[in-house]
Amino acid sequence: MDYKDSKWADKIIKLQQKDGSWGYFHSLSNPTKEQPITTEQALRRLKILGFTINDKPIQKAINYLSNCLIEKIKIPDRQEKLHNWKIFTELMFSTWIKIFTIENKKANEITQNWTTIVNCSFENGIYDKVKYIKLYEKILGLKPKGGRLIDFINFYPISLLTNNLDKKIEPIFFNYVLNHECGIYYIWDKKIINTPELFKSKNANRYVSAIELLAEYNNKECKKQLEFINKWLSKNMIEKNKWDMGKESKDGINFPLSDSWKKDENRIKDCTYRINKLLGKLK
């Protein structure tokens, strides 16, 4: 089941530009009717709606990102001063390419670089920040130039590293992520081991996004560390095998999936679909 024929998918596809983008990639300070979303938001939304690399809109977008990655094309975004822009953009482009396909040499090279950095930073059983900084500068080949180093506890590295880390290190890294005080940057800003109090909420919607990301890790030890999520979801069923995250969860990215939420049954159907999909990944 997917929602590729929904009005939401049709709307996004019609906004796609000839080069495969949706204009700005990462940040959009002034949304307009012509450009209401970024390329990144469009890709996230289309993936949620069921699109894969086999669909032409995704193929066009990945071709665009591949050209961005080799610096054949420059994104129109304003360069952020907090990070080294080259390192940050390579990380973003590689992450979204890898989400849809592993057939990209440059993205695979970036993945390997980050894998090596994180593997070595946890090789003694705990996170070694000094080693992380040293390897970051050595392997990526660039210093921050006045900006801060990119923390690996954010959406991009965590997504990029999925099922790539050393099998002995992966559960240690995973536990570190679950107990990180600031959660996963760009997704959830609290300790993930602590579930939200309200299930019908914007917070729970964002929290589930973080768990969906972590559920992609197939290591048995990692799956075991997420067993508390099964209990949390079971506790919040409205009836047998049905969930409702409430009207507050409507964010234009994860929800809605159905064309309309005017009827409660459509919202419940969408929420149940999402949670069942997550439960499948947690097994």
pLDDT digits (tens, 9 = 90+) for 10-69: 999 999 999 999 999 998 766 777 789 999 999 999 999 999 999 999 999 999 999 999
pLDDT above 90: percentage of residues in the chain: 88
What whole-number distance in Å separates Cα of residue 150 and Cα of residue 241? 40
Q: H helices then E strands: how many in the chain?
A: 12, 0
Residue 145: per-residue pLDDT: 56
pLDDT digits (tens, 9 = 90+) for 136-183: 999 987 665 545 789 999 999 999 999 999 999 999 999 999 999 999
pLDDT digits (tens, 9 = 90+) for 80-116: 776 788 999 999 999 999 999 999 999 999 999 999 9
Residue 142: per-residue pLDDT: 65
Residue 143: per-residue pLDDT: 63
**Tokens standing for residue 193:** 């081991």
Residue 149: per-residue pLDDT: 85
Say if residue 256 is preceded by a cis peptide, omega within 30 of 0: yes
What whole-number distance in Å separates Cα of residue 226 and Cα of residue 121? 23
**Tokens standing for residue 232:** 């949390």
CB burial class (10 A; 0-12, 13-18, 19+) of residue 264?
exposed
